[in-house]
Amino acid sequence: MQNLIDGRAIAQQIHAETAQRVAVLKARGVTPGLVFIRVGEDPASQVYVGMKEKKSAELGLHSVTRVLPEMTTQAELLALIDRFNADPQWHGILVQAPLPKHMDQATVYAHVAPTKDVDGFHPLNVGKLMLGDPSGFVSCTPGGVHELLIRYQVPLAGAEVVVLGRGNIVGKPMASILMQKGRHANSTVTVVHSATRDVQAHCLRADVIIAAMGVPEFVRANMVKPGAVVIDVGVNRVADPTAKSGTRLVGDVAFAEVQPKAGLITPNPGGVGPMTIAMLLANTARAAEMATGSARR
């Protein structure tokens, strides 16, 4: 359909740009290095890390995965992160979520060196984003959404944007990106959440809706004004007796009924998802550039 935002195509554009940056670095004798740390055997985490490893290799990055047992202590995990923080051959460190329940996620993410925090979760990088300081790393999913909006030439200056969800991974950084005074931003951002009164009224005035609540098919057609841009970040598993597994994945947007009203809309899958890996690897290339004094935004 003509109003689809093709995340796979945009991700491929970014991958091609990253591959060129990696080639330039290699010509200078530097191979960007990316470490994946996974604790336990969560099936989804295995899949996600495998996809990231494969794409890293395709783009010419050097990556390694360290898998720790489920019962690894937090102190042992932090000690491993310390070793990679201190090793200059590694420019990016990614600790795959979810972590076991006996670990504090915020403490673990804050232990990664800010200059190697290619996930953009370290408090220093989060603070730089809020302050509009471009020297930090932007977390990959909201950064990817921003790239989709830019490359589809969605007008953002003065636009009414509603972000559904106030999570630390997507909602808060997404709002911070779009409210900044600068190019490809300057939006009027409303963040709605579980305590918001009349969510529908907020959504109906939005030029852009970014759904990241984690509620299956929450955004319905009666919440979207004609011509609005709708970005679906959600990944939710719902029961489906017709599916072989008994379940299927849906987004936060009721796609079939919203698409006819939207000016542009992301499919799910094939919208935001591919952008997360693209931004991760772009951040890793940038981390290597920073380490060699050739950084670019």
d(CA 259, CA 265): 6
| 3-state SS, residue 137 | coil
- Helices (H) and strands (E) counted in the chain, each on its own, are 10, 10
Q: Cβ distance 145 to 275 under 8 Å?
A: yes
In angstroms and rounded to an integer, the radius of gyration of the C-alpha atoms of the chain is 19
Q: With both helix axes pointing from N to C terminus, report the angle between 140-151 and 7-27 in degrees, rounded to the nearest 10.
A: 110
Looking at residue 45, its amino acid is: S
| 3-state SS, residue 28 | coil
Strands 208-211 and 229-232: parallel
Contacts of 258 (CB under 8 A, 6+ apart): 219, 220, 221, 224, 230, 265
Catalytic machinery residues: 52, 96, 119
What values do phi and psi take at 60, rounded to 5? 95, 10
Instruction: Give the count of beta carbons closer than 10 Å to the beta carbon of residue 100.
Output: 17
CA distances (Å), origin 88, targets 35, 178, 192, 221, 241: 12, 34, 42, 51, 51
d(CA 83, CA 59): 25
